[in-house]
Chains A and B, each alone.
Chain A
Amino acid sequence: MGRDAGFIAAHAGLASGALAVMIPEREMTIEQLLDRLNEAKRHNKSSSIVIVAEGGKSGNATEIAAEVSKQMPFYETKVTILGHIQRGGSPSCFDRNLASRLGVAAVEALLKGKRDAMVGMVHHKVVLTPFEKAISDKFRLDSEIVRISDILSI
């Protein structure tokens, strides 16, 4: 996942306390990653999580892990590929409430005569976005998530 957008990877990185997130929106080279891993080692970090989105240009998770193993043989690298295991998981409280609100909003919008629109949330409020706009606008990652992740991963 994360072929075009790294927001799931960025959120997963923050939630898991990852050392680095490699996402399409912010390229990180292998050299930059190795620098961060070395720095983490200097700060006595005992383990490091690296989240790799599918669309990153530095290679996939397996390739990156192989390169890290080669350059830093004292690290044991392990790779976990999340895919449908995650997508088919049980909904959290947040998921259930979001989906419940969107489902009711979709029906109420239709009954009010609105059509051809995506139901979504903006600033915690239900908002309708016309399909034309919904598919043409690119979702931008909130850089705050990556910034906080960087601060907390030292």
Chain B
Amino acid sequence: MSDIKKIAVFTSGGDAPGMNAAVRAVVRSCIFNNIQVAGIFRGYQGLIEGDIEELTARSVNHILQRGGTVLKSARSDDFRKPEGRAKAHEKLKSNGVDALVAIGGDGTTPSTKSGTRPPPTAASFL
């Protein structure tokens, strides 16, 4: 078992059909496993700015069939800088996030060599 109590999910980079289906799957499987789930809006940039919201199973109603991403997406130059990543790490801690699920392409891969050790991250690549 793990000590994860809260997972945050976000989408990043160019959108792809199926992103919403992945967001829904992450949110509902968190609820199913009795852990909290938060949505980060606008990818890494939104994370740096603290654009984070608690989600419920009902937050992802009727998005399975929709294109795009309800969590929105963005490119973030700030996240390429160590200060940006430190800020992102801080926001995760202050929001009680223990783990991240990133949904995106190869540009979304969290940097595991970024000085500050990121929280446990699983990425669904679409």
A151 at interface by CB-CB < 8 Å: no
Asked if A28 is at the interface of the complex by the 8 Å CB criterion, the answer is no
A95 contacts B33, CB within 8 Å? no
**Partner-binding segment picked from B17-25, B40-48, B49-57, B75-83:** B17-25
Is B66 among interface residues, defined by CB-CB distance under 8 A?
A: yes
Chain A residues with a Cβ closer than 8 Å to the other chain, count: 38
Contact sample, A vs B, 14 pairs, CB 8 Å cutoff: A89-B17, A91-B21, A95-B17, A98-B126, A99-B25, A104-B25, A107-B26, A113-B120, A114-B122, A115-B121, A119-B123, A120-B125, A131-B123, A135-B109
Residues of B within 8 A of A (CB): 1-2, 4, 7, 14-26, 29-30, 33, 35, 64-68, 99, 101, 103, 106, 109-110, 112, 118, 120-126
- B21–chain A nearest beta-carbon distance, Å: 4
A131 adjacent to B112 (CB under 8 Å): yes
- Cα(A117)–Cα(B121), bound, Å: 7
Given known contacts A103-B29, A115-B121, what 7 new A-B pairs fall within 8 Å (CB)? A89-B67, A95-B17, A99-B18, A102-B126, A103-B24, A103-B124, A111-B33
Separation of A95 and B112 alpha carbons in the complex (Å): 28
| From B30, B33, B106, B121, contact of A116 by CB (8 A) | B121
- The A-B contact count (CB < 8 A) is 137
Q: Which residues of A contact B (CB under 8 A)?
A: 84, 87-92, 95-120, 128, 131-132, 134-135
Q: Interface centre among B18, B25, B122, B123, by most A CB within 10 Å? A: B122
Instruction: Identify the closest chain B residue to A107 (Cβ).
Output: B29
A111-B33, A118-B123, A119-B124 known; A84+B14 contact, CB < 8 A: yes
What is the CA–CA distance of A107 and B101 in the complex, to the nearest angstrom? 7
A residues within 8 A CB of B24?
100, 103
**Residues B35 and A111 in contact, CB atoms below 8 Å apart:** yes
Q: Tell me which residues across on chain B come within 8 A of A84, comparing CB atoms.
A: 14-15
Q: A102-B25, A106-B101 are in contact. Are A117 and B123 (CB under 8 A)?
A: yes
The 6 A-B pairs with the shortest beta carbon distances in the complex, nearest first, are A103-B25, A115-B120, A95-B18, A99-B21, A99-B18, A99-B22
Chain A residues closer than 8 Å to B15, beta-carbon distance: 84, 87-88
Please indicate the chain B residues that have their CB under 8 angstroms from the CB of A109 in the complex: 122
Q: Across the interface, do A119 and B122 meet the contact criterion of CB distance under 8 Å?
A: yes
CA distance A84 to B27 in the complex (A): 26
Partner of B64, one of A96, A116, A120: A96
Q: Are B16 and A87 in contact (CB under 8 A)?
A: yes
